[in-house]
Structures are given as structure tokens and as C-alpha cells.
Chain A
């Protein structure tokens, strides 16, 4: 039967399913993506920690060792000159040849010494052995002198001295027993620093250098240039241990920086390894993890979408089925309540109509036996008219009753093709008159069915009458019969008439619905529908406006007797 949705509600239903789909999808995605993401984050951090441990710890150790070597180097030199200062007296060292001898001994045993000088309490250079002419120079207003006086030992920052080589100055205070003091000052070159750094065997992309606390390079750096250049790396100094930080290089590259402060001088050793090389394995792992993660997400999204569509489709189908069942129920309820009403009306009319019928009949009987009188003919005609009117009323009331419940269903074996042909016999004249072609495509091997001939005649009479009314002159009606599956046969009546609107299609099986305002009782198709249903069959209607309508009647081979009784 006609299935359709109320206009305007389509959109609401569609948006309801959209919303449902969205909600299910959202839930599914949240349920699967959240755990996945949490796992990914945990894994990421775990791997990162492990890998950093593997990379950072060796770097830390290397840096610590190198810093220690440098410290040791400075300590050696400081010890040497401290020994000098305490092994000799000022008088001994003031002697120029003695000083020369001592410097010779010193520089032959320890590498790196450039010069050796003596400075008295007032800061005056009183003895010197080395490449400069520094005797008599006054250092009393220089910062290093004061530091040496106060702290007893001093190591300078690197400066470019003799022959433009980087140098470091060291000074040691010799305190006499009487409280006076003098200072031994020496200069060493920093080539040894480079040697230590070189011995660290850093890979070519790595870098190591010393800076002072002001960020001035104390050795040359691959990344930041020559000695005394500025190093922009910001580090927070801590007096003990080795720190490792991540920083950005001059070109914005990622760097892993390990640094340790030397204990004898205001120096910090920095060891730099470019992140790209150090963290290559980490990056590739990260990339793989990202790919796996994204593939996982993609998979989940695809699966969720498909699953959601499947679920929503299922729900939609179930809804449609339920709605159809509900409509059918509603329809049969409507039919039965209207049927009861119709039957009631018919009963009430039938009784007075029976009286009219009998009275008029009796008058006619009497008229026939009476003699000739003036209005005999006239009376006879009038009575015939009354009886005809009664007959018409009877047709209507009987049809109403038939609609409520068809009388006397008698099952017999019959050939549906024959029933169709019989009915066509009634309509041939009208078809001829309208010049409508009726094309028969009846299945010769159609099995016989057990059904009610009279009722089926009524059914096909109704359907064919409607079809004839629907087609224009020279229209075409095609009647086809076939076996539809093992248990039923079908007859379709297809016309090329004006067709029906969706609206009409929704109502055609409802009692009293008619498009033939003037002559239709609106009972034809609802009776047809009722009969077919009662015979255990079904009617399908397909129609398109101005193309035509196809009504198909399905009937079971063996009717179940669905009558009440």
C-alpha cells in the first residue's frame, strides 16, 4: 500500500538521523581516540626519557672528565709557581740570573709557561723573565693584583698576549713571616686547553669550548667563532657537577649542551652536540610513532564512520518498518471503525427501505390485478421508479455492509485469468466506447488458486473501472498475470492515465476518499483493499503523475479463511 511521510516531516526525520549519526560517531571516536592518544603520549614520553638517558649520560660523563682534566692542568701550573714562591726567597729570585734559571727549569718541566715575574708589595714589577720588557711596571691599580693580594691566588681570563696567542695569567702571593708579601706572576698559553678539548674525540659536528662567566669565549668555537668572541648561550651556573640542557644554535638548530664549571678559574666548559645527529634515532622513532598514531586514527575514523552508517541505517530501516506496521494498524483501525459506522447507517436505512420496497411492490402487485383506469400507466411507471430508487439505495447500503464485512465468502478452486476475462466482459463496451486498448499478458500456466470468485470479480471490476476512468481516449491498459514465488500469484493492472499525486496515493484505500467528487462513493478501493486483505492477499500501488498507475494484486494459492465467525 501507499507509504509516504507527511510533507514537512521529512526534514525533521532527516535531521534526527543526522543528529543520531553525529552522536554515535562522536561517542565512538571519543571512546577509541582518547585511550589511543593517552597511550601514544605515555609511550612518547617513555621513549623520550629512555633515549635521552642514553644520549645525555655519556655526554655528561665526557664533559665532567674534560673539565676535570682542565682543572688538573691549571692546578699543576698553580702548584708549580706556588712551590717556586715558597721554595725561594725574594732575594734569591730578585737575582736576574737566578730567576732565569728558575724559569728555565720551570718551562722545561711544565709546558705552556711563557714568562715569570716578581711583583712587590706595592705592585711594582721587580723581576721579570720573558719576552716582554715589563720591569718596573706598576700593577697596584689593577684588579688582578688586588684579587691576588686578597685571595692569595689569581687566574685571569684569556687574553691575546705575546704574538697574539691566547694567554692566561696566573699569580700567587708569597706571605713572609713578618706579614709582608710578594707575588709570583706567570703567563701560560692556552694551547693546552685546545689539546684537552681535542682529546675528547668529539664527532665532527660537535663542539667544545670554554667561556668565562661573562659569556666571553676563552677558546675558539666552531659554532661561535674565535677566542674572546661572545657566546650567546645562556647557562645558569652551578658550582658543582655537570648540567645538560637543550638550546638553540646560531642557525636555530637544536643543540644538546653539557657544561661544567672549572674550580680553579672563572671558566665554564661547554660541550655542544647538535640535536640532529644526537637525536636522529629519536626523531625517526618519533616519526614512526606519529605515522602509526595517525594510521590508527585514520583506521578508527574510517571504521567508526562505517559502523555508524551501518547502525544508523539499521535503526532507520527498523523505524521505517515500525512506522509502516503502525500505519497499517492505524489504517485497519480506521477501516474497522468506519466500517462499523457504515454498517450501522446501512442497517438503519435498510429497514425503512424494506418497507418502501414492500409497499411499492404491493401497489404494483395490486395495480397489475386491477382494471384499467386513467393513471394506470403513469402509476406503474412511478412505482417502477420508486423500486429503482430503492434498488439504488440497496446497492449503496449493501456495499456499505459489504465494506464492513463482506458477506458469505465461498472458497473455490478458480483460475484467476478467467476471473479477469469475465470482468473484462462487463467492461468491453466501455473500453470500446472510449477507444481504450486493453492488452492481456496472462500467464497461461498460472496455477489455480483457492479463493472467492464473486469477491475477486468485485476486486477486478473496481480496479479496472478505475483504470478505465484514469486513461484518456486511446489509452492503454495492460493486464499481466504471473506466479509470484511459490505461494502466490499476482495480477497487475497498468494504465497510462493521469496517475496520482503522492497525497492521493496515501489515501486511496481509505473509505470515502474519492477524486470523483460527483459520482464516486469513495468506497471502491477501500472495499477492494478490504476484500484482498480478507482473502489473504495484498495490493501494491505504484503511480506517477501523468505517467500512469500500476495496481498489483497478490493472492495466495491457498487462501486462509480470515473471516470472523
Chain B
């Protein structure tokens, strides 16, 4: 427990990402913001966070590809998909690729916190089962 949980927020809407990061920081999270897939992958490579809050539609490498790469390189890193483009297909696809959950914007901060905590719990207590939905 010693350290703060680390959350990486990846979203091309930087205004949104930064604000969300600030709010999470107020709630005692260690946050980092990336505006695209490349940056996100580099950040994960550099210092894997506990949870990645990942947008799906982004310029460059898309959210699903980022998710796939993160999960293959760092299965313990939990990914929560957070997108304005919600659809059943996307949701299912995300879950199949190993996302922890799938949320649609705008999201209540409390709900998001719950999911993040649950993700951290799940990776902490049942590391073997991660990556399965």
C-alpha cells in the first residue's frame, strides 16, 4: 500500500484529461496524462501504472491497439475504457481484449473512482485472473 495508486489517463481531449487528472490527484491518486497512444505506450513502458483510463478514438494508434499492447506487455496493468463513443460492440471488444471495464462519458467521478479501486483490488488479489473478462 505504501505508495499512492498510479493512474495513467489517455485522451486526445486534453482539457478533459487534465481536469480529470487534477480531480483524481485531489483524491489521492498519482496521475499522469497522455494525449495519444504512442505517448501512453511509452509511459507504460517507462513506469507501468496500476490503472490506465483509456479513450478509444484517438488520432494515431487507436485505443484498442493500445489496450492490446499494454495487456500483452503488462498483463497486470488494468485498463478502464472511457469513451464518448459507446456501443455494445465496442464494449464487448474491449472486454475481450482484456479491459477491466467499459464506461461512457460523461461519468460521475464517484463511479469512476469505484471502478479504479475495484481494478486495483482485482489486480492485487487475483493477479492470475486478470486479462479475462
Interface residues of A (CB under 8 A from B): 343, 346-351, 353-359, 361-362, 365-366, 369, 390-391, 393-394, 398, 401, 404-409, 563-565
Contacts and interface: CB of A to CB of B under 8 A. Distances in A.
Q: Which 4 interchain pairs have the tightest Cβ spacing?
A: A350-B84, A354-B105, A357-B106, A358-B19
B107 A354 contact: yes
Contacts of A350: 84-86, 104-106
B23 A365 contact: yes
B88 interface: yes
B104 A398 contact: yes
29 contacts: A346-B84, A347-B86, A350-B86, A350-B105, A351-B13, A354-B13, A354-B84, A354-B105, A354-B106, A355-B13, A355-B15, A355-B19, A357-B105, A357-B108, A358-B16, A358-B19, A358-B20, A359-B19, A361-B109, A398-B104, A401-B86, A401-B104, A407-B88, A407-B102, A407-B104, A564-B88, A564-B89, A565-B89, A565-B93
Given A362-B22, A365-B26, A405-B88, 9 more contacts: A346-B84, A346-B86, A349-B84, A353-B105, A354-B106, A355-B19, A393-B106, A401-B87, A407-B104
B92 A563 contact: yes
Contact of B23 (A343, A361, A390, A407): A361
Contacts of B5: none
Contacts of B89: 405, 564-565
B48 interface: no
B107 to A, nearest CB: 7
B86 A407 contact: yes
B106 A390 contact: yes
A353 B106 contact: yes
Interface string B95-133: 000000010111111000000000000000000000000
Contacts of A565: 88-89, 92-93
B84 A351 contact: yes
A346 B86 CA distance: 9
Contacts of B16: 351, 354-355, 358
Contacts of B88: 405-409, 563-565
B88 to A, nearest CB: 4
Interface residues of B, number: 24
A399 to B, nearest CB: 11
Nearest to B23: A362
B91 interface: yes
Contacts of A362: 19, 22-23, 26
Nearest to A409: B88
Nearest to B19: A358
A565 to B, nearest CB: 4
A391 B19 CA distance: 18
A398 to B, nearest CB: 6
A106 to B, nearest CB: 138
A346 B107 CA distance: 14
B60 to A, nearest CB: 18
B10 to A, nearest CB: 14
A365 B113 CA distance: 14
B106 A404 contact: no
